[in-house]
Amino acid sequence: MSPWERDAAMLWAKKAIVPAEWGPTQDQFEELFVKLGGPKQMMLAAASDPESGQSILLMSLPNTTFLGFFSGFECVAEEALPSEAALLVGHSDELLKHFRYPARRPVP
């Protein structure tokens, strides 16, 4: 078992995202995720900021060392995370420990 797979507290970070940044950020995160062997504590999810409604990316990382690889992300307490998020990279069982999947909104 890797050192980052033990029952450690998850480090959370978030970033308001514009569409042009979405793909490159997801690709970069997925590359690191695979390189590290897919740690359970590591995920990238998309959500809406509950206050502004803006699209945000949320990531959990094994430790602060990896946070420096991603520009513009800032640490956030788990209590401040939104209640809903969609998994982009990671393990769905881990996502469901922290979030609900977003409800589908009817198209008018």
The domain segmentation of the chain, as residue ranges, is 3-98
Distance separating alpha carbons of residues 108 and 106, to the nearest angstrom: 6
Q: What is the pTM of this model?
A: 0.83
* pLDDT mean over 13-29: 91
Which tens digit of pLDDT belongs to each residue from 39-62? 998 999 999 887 787 899 999 998
Per-state percent for the chain, helix, strand, coil, to nearest 5: 35, 25, 40
Query: For residue 104, what pLDDT band results from cuts at 50, 70 and 90?
Result: low
